Amino acid sequence: MNIAIIFAGGRGERLSADSIPKQFIDIDEKPLIIHTLMNFQNHEEIDKIYIAILPEYYKHMENLVKSYGIDKVKGIVNGGDSAQESIFNALTCALNENPRDSVVLIHDGVRPILTDEVISRNIASVKEFGSAITCIPAHETVLVSKDGKTPDSVPFRREIYKGQAPQSFYLGEIVEAHEKIRKRSEKYKDMIDSCTIYHTLGRKTHLVEGNFGNIKVTTKEDVYILKGLLKMFKERENANKAAQND
């Protein structure tokens, strides 16, 4: 069983899209979250999808899923006070209905440009190594600074990768990791993603190659970048179809 967990519980304060959470803004005539969900709906290896959503948008999400015929969605759950809390709610829902050894791919609802190959690589990596952290090589210099004024270290760029999503694991193991983190006095503090949770617990993770363009929409500028990327992919698809017909 291969399951996608989609986190769509953010409020999008940094985007300020007329008070509409960023996952619901229209991009190319469809809500952003629908672009993301269709990647998993159309992938032959994905069996089920679970979504963590803002409680006040639960019904709206339910209506969107029905309107766009996304029948792999088997559960929509209310999000929590943080991203990881929301993801835990969705993971728990999935665990109640599926085997512990199911492969689960945890993905951002506002990261819509994801290739089939990356999804397949995530599933294969979990089956071989027990985990998959999607990433791409860094193209810019990364500075580490504790005070935000002077660099404490400048890692070699060849050793630096930028984490993306999905981040994938066996369902039972990632739920167990969350439960251990939740028992700490600081709980989810500084736990920005599943990879951080695993490394905090001293567990190894395995890198898989992501795709450039798999951006997380966070700011207004990201919206324009996303529109440009979607236009580029559509033009490329049309060109390939035309070449096949010649």
> What is the per-residue pLDDT for 81?
87
Say how far apart CA 109 and CA 111 lie, in whole Å: 6
* Placement of tokens 């709906």 in the chain: 41
Token pair belonging to 88: 């835990």
Per-residue model confidence (pLDDT) at position 230: 87
The Cα-based distances of 72 to 43, 132, 175, 180 in angstroms read 10, 22, 21, 30
- What is the model's pLDDT at position 14? 53
Per-10-residue mean pLDDT of the chain, 246 residues long, equals 92 59 90 97 98 94 97 95 94 97 97 96 98 95 92 92 96 98 93 95 96 91 91 82 75
Per-residue pLDDT, 19: 67
What Rg, from alpha-carbon coordinates, does the chain have?
18
DSSP secondary structure string for all residues of 160-187: -EEEEEEEEEEHHHHHHHHHHHHTSSST
- The pTM score is 0.92
Q: What is the pLDDT of residue 18?
A: 57
Q: Given this model, what pLDDT does residue 116 score?
A: 97
